Amino acid sequence: MSEFLPVTKKEMLERGWDQVDFVYICGDAYVDHSSFGAAIITRLLESRGYRVGIIAQPDWKQKESIQVFGEPRLAFLVSAGNMDSMVNHYTVNKKHRQVDAYSPGGKMGLRPDMPVVVYSNLIRQTYKKTPIILGGIEASLRRMSHYDYWSDKVKRSVLMDSGADMISYGMGEHSILEIAEALEGGIPVREITFVPGTVFHAKDLSVVADPIELPSYEVVSGSKKAYAESFGIQYKNTDPFTAKPMAESYGTKGYIIQNPPAKPLTMQEMDDIYNLPFTGRYHPMYQKDGGIPALEEIRFSITSNRGCYGGCSFCALTFHQGRIVQVRSHESIIKEATEMTKHPDFKGYIHDVGGPTAEFRAPSCQKQLTKGVCQNRQCLFPEPCKNLKVDHKDYVKLLREVRSIPGVKKVFVRSGVRFDYLVADSDKTFLRELVEYHVSGQLRVAPEHVSDQVLHYMGKPCHSVYQKFLQLYDKENDKTGKKQYAVPYFMSSHPGCTMKEAVKLAEYVRDLGFTPEQVQDFYPTPSTLSTCMYYTGIDPRNGENVYIPRNPHEKAIQRALMQYKNPANRELVLEGLKMAGRMDLVGFGPKCLIRPDRSKTQKSGKEPENSKQRKNTTGLKGTHFTGTVKKGNAGGRDKNRKAGKRS
């Protein structure tokens, strides 16, 4: 096991260093694992001979907390961590979360809101001229003007508010090495305007060739239509092969300029990165606090790919990892899995082999590697492209190899499969082996909704495709004799979802006999199509108006409809049914969602004609899905399985 990078000046001096080249300041605790962006970037720089010191979760109220190593020779690198800090801190209802999985013992409050801004301003209090490079998902998704859900307004690029010099957006390996080489070569940071995958500030447009001029910040912050138009332009310029530089004016303060994304990593580059000497552990200084909860979730999981051409509107992957799938070799993955079996805590179970979408093991078509992705069409939505190569053979082979490693008892697939991609494959070998070897009682899938209108705005396939998948999944389970369930993720209050569509989803849940324990309300996070729709009421892909359930009370009703059996939700459900004109769902029949007001029934002195049915209206054959079903849960197997798939 390699030692950790220095976190104190004492450790720096013990290495014989009098100064570090880079100080990496992060909002997460220090975890030296390849699932943590900070670990990848710092180990990558180390592999190129740079000296890196890490300051994890500094006290943002004390400027001395970022002075641990003194001034770095080349630059400060600043990241909020693996999550956007606002999502990390707040629920969709803007209430404070109680646990921070990326902090010691899950303790909340060890980082500020918007660390990339706060930490950078803290640095500038002491180091006026030292280059500051922002990275990580928070900076990446806020690199241009963006709608901020928590303040309910359009905010400036974080580069303007932080006082930093550059943003390395996306995954960052290519760009951070180019930036480091330029700084090492003596190029002033203000002149590093040529690196793909970066954003920088300039006084005018003379430093960039033929940029797309976006509407100015002043315009997009005052016009929702202009904001939607700007977002649409940016959305079409996320491909490294076809994108052009984009410039956003800030009046007398100059321009924020975004270079095209960095090129995707080759398989060899992916292998080299995941072969860096990670310890796979959190820093020992956190042992007394109980460690870092987030590590436990992924300690025995393997990243096999990056990027996703799924195109879900509510996902930010298009802006961050991109649509071109990049993969590791089988040899690299098998080597990591073999090393995993030697871990003292390994019990024989690999929890996942995947990525954004588990079974994507190649670009959607060969054209992408030379000409990029299509600007005006998706690979899977609204139906699979005729040029899409649908093939699970490589992933099947990989899973077979991993599960045959001595010491491995079971390999799960938990990062999610695309059921529409699976349905499109005429060869059902992967589905058969998924059911037989890689599911533990329940498979999580993501239909998200049942209304084709809502699914259209989500960028998801129509509901009939999901139904087809369930038929295939049931068929394979029947062949194996297994009682395994598909558990669906559903989302309420997404743009385009009227009360009529919310009731339709509640009826589907009713027919499944499925009671979700948790409901995901749409969360408007930065730089997604859905968030743009939420803020503007406009679909940026075509300029059409979209219905938005924005009122908190309406959102509460839509959420309550999915949990209509909860007595606490009765009045909200009743209100929703009235709004949708569906009072036929109030009564004592088997299709009704709620009962009439009992006090009124008792006052009439009459017993409902169908009251004898009431004891038998608890679902399908008297059995219920209750959200997360345990393996082997008995009763009503076929119908309940079709009821509850959550992904």
In angstroms, the CA 29 to CA 88 distance is 13
In angstroms, the CA 568 to CA 571 distance is 8
Asked whether residue 244 is assigned to any structural domain, the reply reads: yes
CB of 371 closer than 8 Å to CB of 242: yes
pLDDT in tens, 81-130: 999 999 999 999 999 999 999 999 999 999 999 999 999 999 999 999 99
CB of 337 closer than 8 Å to CB of 398: no
Provide the domain limits for residue 611: 481-647
CB crowding 426-455: b at 16 or more within 10 Å, else e: eebebbbbbbeebbeebbbbbbbbbbeebb
Asked whether residue 287 is assigned to any structural domain, the reply reads: no
Domains contained in the chain, number: 2
Q: Count of alpha carbons within 13 Å of 137, Cβ hemisphere only?
A: 23
Among 242, 258, 274, the domain boundary falls at 258
Residue 623 has pLDDT above 80, yes or no: no
Looking at residue 646, its pLDDT comes to 30
Looking at residue 514, its pLDDT comes to 78
Asked whether residue 422 is assigned to any structural domain, the reply reads: no
Residue 617 has pLDDT above 50, yes or no: no
Looking at residue 601, its pLDDT comes to 52
Asked whether residue 631 is assigned to any structural domain, the reply reads: yes
Among 233, 258, 283, the domain boundary falls at 258
Instruction: Give me 174's structure tokens.
Output: 């290519």
CB of 316 closer than 8 Å to CB of 528: yes
Residue indicated by tokens 């042992």: 287
Among 258, 288, 316, the domain boundary falls at 258
Selection from 299, 329, 328, 305 nearest residue 317 by Cα: 305
pLDDT in tens, 297-338: 899 999 999 999 998 999 999 899 999 999 999 999 999 999
User: What CA–CA distances, in Å, run from 161 to 76, 115, 164, 250, 425?
Assistant: 16, 11, 8, 12, 48
Looking at residue 599, its pLDDT comes to 62
Looking at residue 295, its pLDDT comes to 97
Residue 640 has pLDDT above 80, yes or no: no
CB crowding 374-403: b at 16 or more within 10 Å, else e: beeebbbbeebbeebebebeebbebbeebb
User: For the residues of 78-102, what is the DSSP string, one character each?
Assistant: EE--SS-HHHHHB-TTSPBPS--TT
Dihedral angle of Cα 611, 615, 616, 620, to the nearest 10 degrees? 130
Looking at residue 513, its pLDDT comes to 85
SS3 readout for 135-189: EHHHHHHCCCCEEECCCCEEECCHHHHHCCCEEECCCCHHHHHHHHHHHHCCCCH
Asked whether residue 381 is assigned to any structural domain, the reply reads: no
pLDDT in tens, 214-260: 999 999 999 999 999 999 999 999 999 999 999 999 999 999 999 99
350 burial via Cβ count (<10 Å: 0-12, 13-18, 19+)? buried
The confidence band for 366, taking pLDDT boundaries of 50, 70 and 90, is: confident
Residue 607 has pLDDT above 50, yes or no: no
pLDDT in tens, 474-520: 999 999 998 898 989 999 999 999 999 999 999 999 998 877 777 79
Q: Strands 166-168 and 132-135, how do they pair?
A: parallel
Asked whether residue 425 is assigned to any structural domain, the reply reads: no
Asked whether residue 641 is assigned to any structural domain, the reply reads: yes
The pLDDT of 198-202, averaged and rounded, is 98
Asked whether residue 564 is assigned to any structural domain, the reply reads: yes
